[in-house]
Amino acid sequence: MKSTFASLAIAAALSASVSGFALAQDSVEVLHWWTSGGEAAAVGVLKDDLQKQGVGWQDMPVAGGGGEAANTALKARVTSGNPPTAAQLLGMAVNEWSEEGLLGDLTSVADQEGWGTVVPDAIKNFAVHDGKWQAVPVNIHRPNWLWINAKVFKDNGLEPPKTWDEFNAVADKLKEKGIVPLAHGGQPWQDTTVFDDVVLGIGGPEFYKKAILELDDAALKSDTMVKVFDQMRKIRGYVDPNFSGRDWNLATAMVLKGEAAMQLMGDWAKGEIVKANLTPGVDILCVTAPGTEGSFLFNTDFFAMFPVGDSKLAAQHKLAASVMSPSFQEAFNLVKGSIPARTDVSGDKFDACAKKSMGDLKSAVSSGTLLGSLAHGHAEPAGIQRAMFDVVTQHFNSDMSSKDAAAALVTAINAAR
């Protein structure tokens, strides 16, 4: 009798470990910050795609636009020796995890699937380190968009602004009529999304390169940067009194409902437009942020792969191969608002805004005006980015002068270097 119990116990333990093994082998755990309506719909596309291949999905969402909270959660997981299969990371964060020697190696999958020839260099540079593929790009987002409620503009006889002066004129008219000109959420990454647009729109691409990408002291404290902060101060006057702390998707919702006329935001906002069954380019217009036509600010969401051990490797490789497949890149990006990270996916099924993005990306690559976004982790490492966020947000929420803000930027960057 005793021995029967013992063998049952052994069998139970064995079957538990076998099913545990099967579970580990056939599922992926993915950490991400896609929690808004449009973002969650995009995650659904990935989950369904994997399910069709027999790979289960263990969701690890960490809310917070721009991904700061997700990065903190990821650090805790990796530090405790229990990394997820994959984590959503922006480009500079991929670099930092790679430099720490903490990412896995997908090169065998990359070679088999031929990723090398279809991903633009600007993006490949973040995914490949020392010749090894360590992350897969899911998309290309463009942060320098201005979203406009077409009806509000039409009813008030307004034209989409092409320069910051035109933007101010339009915003003044809206304000006179009691309409909130700009939907905004007062969070450091959102303030800096606007700041990036203003730096690029007022200074032009060469100035953006000098000030933001090269952190050139002279550019950072130049008269142009003072003008940038003057414009930020004007923008502060165009947001509603409840902007502080508002999530980006709630700001987008204000534009969709006509409670505000415009939003300066990346094209993840388009995911919300699509989710609300509105037509991008018709109900909600997409124009490049004032003064930035001809330049393409970019950020890409990568799934960085962590070393997971042999039992989970097959599922991890399936995840990577699926994400990179042309059919997935099309299906996912139609919902997410971004464009595919592969150059060989046709734009036929995409809306007018995405088609413009695809065309503008090509011209920006050839004219050297494809520029990494500071707000969205493609310009500076986290320490410097955070220091710049602090100054931009402090200026936006105080009466700090533009000259003092430009000087504070230099001091904060030097302290963070």
Interface contacts to ligand BGC, rule CB under 6 A: 33, 39, 65-67, 90, 141, 248, 268, 299, 301, 376
| Closest CB to ligand BGC among residues 90, 408 | 90
Which single residue is written with the structure tokens 């220091």? 387
| Closest CB to ligand BGC among residues 353, 406 | 353
Cβ at position 389, least distance to ligand BGC in Å:
13
Q: For 406, list phi and psi in degrees, rounded to 5.
A: -65, -40
Q: Say how far residue 147 (Cα) sits from the centre of its chain.
A: 16
Which residues fall within 8 angstroms of residue 63, CB to CB, at 6 or more apart? 33, 35, 69
Cβ at position 97, least distance to ligand BGC in Å:
16
For ligand BGC, which residue has the nearest CB? Answer: 268
| Closest CB to ligand BGC among residues 219, 289 | 289
SS3 68: helix
d(Cα 175, Cα 182) in Å, to the nearest integer? 10
Cβ at position 140, least distance to ligand BGC in Å:
10
Cβ at position 43, least distance to ligand BGC in Å:
10
Cβ at position 227, least distance to ligand BGC in Å:
27
Asked whether the beta carbons of 210 and 216 are under 8 A apart, the reply is yes
Q: Does residue 204 come out as left (phi exceeding 0), alpha (psi in the -120 to 50 range) or beta?
A: left
Residue (of 85, 90, 57) closest to 71 by Cα position: 90
Cβ at position 269, least distance to ligand BGC in Å:
9
The total of other beta-carbon atoms located within 10 Å of residue 417's CB is: 10
- As a 3-state breakdown, the chain gives helix, strand, coil percent values, each rounded to 5, of 55, 15, 30
What is the separation, in whole angstroms, between the first and last Cα of the chain?
Answer: 71
| Closest CB to ligand BGC among residues 31, 90 | 90
The token pair at 365 is 């690559």
Beta strands in 123-265 (DSSP E): 128-129, 132-133, 135-137, 145-149, 180-182, 260-264
Cβ at position 295, least distance to ligand BGC in Å:
18
| Closest CB to ligand BGC among residues 268, 303 | 268
d(Cα 101, Cα 322) in Å, to the nearest integer? 25
| Closest CB to ligand BGC among residues 62, 364 | 62
| Closest CB to ligand BGC among residues 16, 69 | 69
